[in-house]
Structure 1
Amino acid sequence: MANIKRKETKQRMSRIVIHQSTVYLCGQVAADANKDIEEQTHTMLEKVDTLLIDAGSDRQHILSATIYIKDMQDFAAMNKIWDSWVPEGYAPARACVQASMARPELLVEISVVAAQIKDQQ
C-alpha cells in the first residue's frame, strides 16, 4: 500500500503531497496579484520556500519546476527574480509556458516537485 501524506488538504486539492520522499506542491501564485511581474514572482517563490520547509525540503532539492506566465513579454523580468532565487549549481529541470490564468490579474504561477531531505510529521 502506498504511503501518501497530504498537508493542508481541502476539497479541491492539497497544498503539499509527499510520496516516497518526493514532495509535490500545488501551484503557487503571488501574495498580491495587483503587483508587477517581479513582485509577483518574488512573493510566489517565498510561498514555495515556506511550503518546502514545511515538507522537509528546500530550494536546493527542487527536482522540477513548471512556470506558467501570462505574457512572454514578462519572461526576462520573471527570470531575473528566478535566477537570483535558485542557488547556483542547483537549477532544477524547468519548463515555462504562456498560459491563461485563473484570475486576470495573475501574471505567473509555479508548480514544484522536490526531494524530501527530512521526514516531517
Structure 2
Amino acid sequence: MIERKHTGTRMSKIVIHNQVAYLCGQVGAGDTVAEQTRDCLSRVDALLEEAGSDREHILQAIVWLSDMADFAEMNAVWDDWVPEGHAPARACGEAKLARDVLKVEVIVTAAVKGD
C-alpha cells in the first residue's frame, strides 16, 4: 500500500511505502544559508513527525545548495541538527533552485518507527 499526504497536482509532501517515508524537497525562509537551513530542517522535523518518524530514523538526505561556497555554513547547522550516532547517508551538490532567493533545499528519506 502507498500512502500519500498533502497531495496536490504536482506532488505529495509525504509518501509512505513499506515503512519508508519519502519527503518532498524542503526549503526555508531567511536571508542567510544558516537561517534557511534551520527553517528548512524545522519543516523536515514536522513532516517526519507526521509520517511517524524522526531524525534518528533518517536513512538518506540529499542537500542542494545554490552555491557550494555556502557548504560550511550549511554544515554548521546540519551538524547541530543530526543526532549523534544517527548520521544518514548524505549527498550535497550545487543546483539552481526554484527561486533565486533560495539557498538550500533538503530531501529526506526515513524509516517509519515501528511499534
Shared fold, TM over 0.5: yes
The Cα of 1:35 is off from its aligned counterpart by 1.5
Establish whether residue 38 from structure 1 lines up as the match of residue 54 from structure 2.
no
1:1-121 aligned within 5 A? 3-30=1-28, 32=29, 34-118=30-114
The size of the alignment, in residue pairs, is 115
**Segment of structure 1 superposing worse, 110-119 or 53-62:** 110-119
Deviations 1:8-64 (A, max 9, x none): 00000000000000000000000x2x4200000000000000000000000000000
| AA at the equivalent of 1:8 | H
Q: Distance in 2 between matches of 1:16 and 1:101?
A: 20
Amino acid at match of 2:109: V
Distance 2:102 2:114 in 1: 33
User: Helix, strand or coil: the match of 1:46?
Assistant: helix
TM-score, with normalisation over the residues of structure 1? Answer: 0.93
Q: Which amino acid aligns with 2:12?
A: S
SS of 1:94's equivalent in the other structure is: strand
Cα shift at 1:117: 0.4
What is the CA-CA distance between 1:118 and the residue it aligns to?
A: 4.6
The one-letter code sitting in structure 2 at the alignment partner of 1:19 is: H
Q: Which runs of 5+ in 2 are unaligned?
A: none
Gaps of 5+ in 1: none
Moved over 3 A (4+): none
The code of the aligned residue for 1:10 comes to G
